[in-house]
Every structure is written in structure tokens, then in C-alpha cells.
Structure 1
Amino acid sequence: MKHLLRQWLLVLVGLVAFAAHADEFRVGFVNTDRIFREANTAKAAQAKLEQEFSRREKELNDIGNNLKSLSDKFEREAPTLSEAQRAQRQKQLVDQDREFQRKRREFQEDLNARKNEELQQVLERANKVVKQVAEAEKYDVVLQEAVYINPKHDITDKVIKALNASK
């Protein structure tokens, strides 16, 4: 019983001490999604990805449009074709569609991999800037994920401004 009382007394003393220093404890919050949307480095990474993948995307769109028109043509002409011709053209369409789906999957995988690489670089730079801002303004903790955050603790604008100013 004395041991339990002693533990509660220590917890109470700790809470009182924390409350006394609570005014000195500074918490900040950074919205990573906003950084990915608004920071110049993130916008540059997005533009780089669009430029890098635009040719392949256009090729895929062209293949898809061509496949669609071939399919429409087949649907119109199917009643007049012989059974052998219909089966052959249907097999060609299925093979072309399978190839198209494979190319589209590869494109998506390549795009996602490169996007992750670029966002990782942006995040690393942003984390360095967050640390600089936190040290300069004497924050004790800076959170990136939270269920709720009071807007007065949001330092995202400061981080974006510092990130845009740095090269």
C-alpha cells in the first residue's frame, strides 16, 4: 500500500512539474501533403515527371484509341464476316488488348516508382528545413501526422517559405 501511494505521489509531482514548464514546451505541426502540393521543389518534381513520362503516356493513349476504333469496326463488321474471319479478328483484338494492358501496367509501375523517388527527395529536403525552422524557433516537437491540430501550431507556411527560398 505504501509502495502504491509513493508511486502516485511521484506521478503527481511529475504532473505538477510538467504543468509548471508547460508554457516553455513548444509544439509545431507540418502538413506534408501541403508541402507536396505547394512547395516549389515538389512542383518542379511533378513537372519533371510529366515531361519524362508524357511521350509514353501519349503513345499509350494512341494505342488505346486505335484499339477502341478497331473494336468498334469489328462490332460493325462482325455480322458480315465468316466464322473463321470473326474468330481470327477477335483473337487479334484480344492479343492487342492484352499487350496494351501489359504496357499500361508497366507504365504505371514505372511512373509510381519514379514518383516515389522524387517525393522522397522532396521529403528529405523538407525534413531538413523543418529541423532548421524547429531549431531556429526553439520548438521541442514537430509533428507530421495528427488526428487534430490547433492551427496556431501549424508551421507549414514557414517551412514552405523556407523550402522555396533555399536552393
Structure 2
Amino acid sequence: MSKLLQSVALAASMMVAAAAVHAQELKIGYVNSERVLKEANLAKAAQSKLEAEFGKREKDLSALETKLRGAAAQLEKDAPTLSDAERGRRQRDLVEQDRDLQRKRREWQEDLTQRKNEELTAVVEKANRVIKQIFDNEKYDLILQDAIHFSPRVDITKKVIDALNAQK
């Protein structure tokens, strides 16, 4: 009989413990990092900074490309009246100019990518610090980023964006 009482007491204590765990709600938050990187003033400022830094080079590259197309069209138009030597020289010049343009475009793209990564890293680090502050101050048990499904009830993205925007 005492084994039965021990089993009942053990089962009862397990039920009480389970009820206590259920009584304590988990506080979970979700942050849409893509939205933070689109809407936060810090991210917008970084994008503007990159556009200012790389916009002139991009326009110069577009102008070079337009000039090269014009020269190619002119060569095609003039080709019937040119000597073989002159036509060959102009074609070589166009090929060399095209190579130069492609090299400059690659360099520009590599520089832009590197700077974007630098700026993005800075924004992400600041956003992570803000998320950590919210986690600590509001006593969250878990904050997720980039979940597949989430309820608007746990979405704290706007709170993170507002906190980032409030920083100087």
C-alpha cells in the first residue's frame, strides 16, 4: 500500500510542477531584420552615404559605356569606306576600351560591395545591441530573427526600429 501512496504522491507532485511551468508564460519576441534594414533611419542614412560615395563613379561608367556604343555604331557606319588597316585599328581600340570599361565596372562593383558590407555590418551591430537592450529591459525569454511564421502579437520589429531611430 505504501508503494501506491508513493506513486500517487509522485504523480501529484509532477502535476503540480507541470502546472507551475505552464503558469509561467514565456515572453517571446520576433524581429524582421529585413524590415529593420529597410526602415531604420540608420540604414537609410547608410544607403544615402553609399549613393553619394559611388554615384559619380556609376555615372562616369555609364557615360563611358554610352561613348563606347557611339564609337561602335560610328565604326559600323564607316566600315565600308575604311581601309582594312584602319578598320582593324579602330576595332582593336574599341576592344581595348571595352576591356577597360569592364575592368572599371568590376572594380566599382567590388568597392561598392565591400562598402555595403561595412555599412550593413555597422547597422546590424547597432540593431543587435538595441535588441539585446529590449531583451534585458523587458525581460524576454527569447527573441527570434527571421522566422518563417510568426504572430503579429510577438512582432517587436517596430519597437526595434523606433529605438534605433531614437539613437543619435
The letter for the 1-side match of 2:109 is Q
Residue 26 of structure 2 corresponds to which residue in structure 1? 25
Residue 39 of structure 1 corresponds to which residue in structure 2? 40
Q: What number of residue pairs does the alignment pair up? A: 154
Larger radius of gyration: 2
- Quote the offset at 1:145 in angstroms: 2.0
Q: Taking every aligned residue pair, what percent have the same amino acid on both sides?
A: 55
Q: TM-score, normalised by structure 1?
A: 0.86
Distance (whole Å) between structure 2 residues aligned to residue 117 and residue 94 of structure 1: 35
Q: Name structure 2 gaps, 5 residues minimum.
A: 1-13
The letter for the 2-side match of 1:30 is V
The letter for the 2-side match of 1:51 is A
Change (3 A) 1:18 1:73: farther
Distance (whole Å) between structure 1 residues aligned to residue 120 and residue 22 of structure 2: 38
Residue 163 of structure 1 corresponds to which residue in structure 2? 164
Q: Name structure 1 gaps, 5 residues minimum.
A: 1-12
Residue 77 of structure 1 corresponds to which residue in structure 2? 78
Where 2:29 maps in the other structure, the secondary structure is: strand
Distance (whole Å) between structure 1 residues aligned to residue 38 and residue 20 of structure 2: 38
Deviations 1:110-162 (A, max 9, x none): 00000000010000000000111122222111111222112211100000001
Residue 92 of structure 2 corresponds to which residue in structure 1? 91
Deviations 1:70-119 (A, max 9, x none): 11111111122121111111111011000000000000000000000001
Change (3 A) 1:81 1:156: same
Residue 151 of structure 1 corresponds to which residue in structure 2? 152
Q: TM-score, normalised by structure 2?
A: 0.85
Distance (whole Å) between structure 1 residues aligned to residue 74 and residue 19 of structure 2: 76
Change (3 A) 1:19 1:38: farther
Where do 1:47-86 residues align within 5 Å?
47-86=48-87
Distance (whole Å) between structure 1 residues aligned to residue 81 and residue 37 of structure 2: 55
Change (3 A) 1:82 1:19: farther
Runs of 4+ in 1 over 4 A off after TM superposition: none
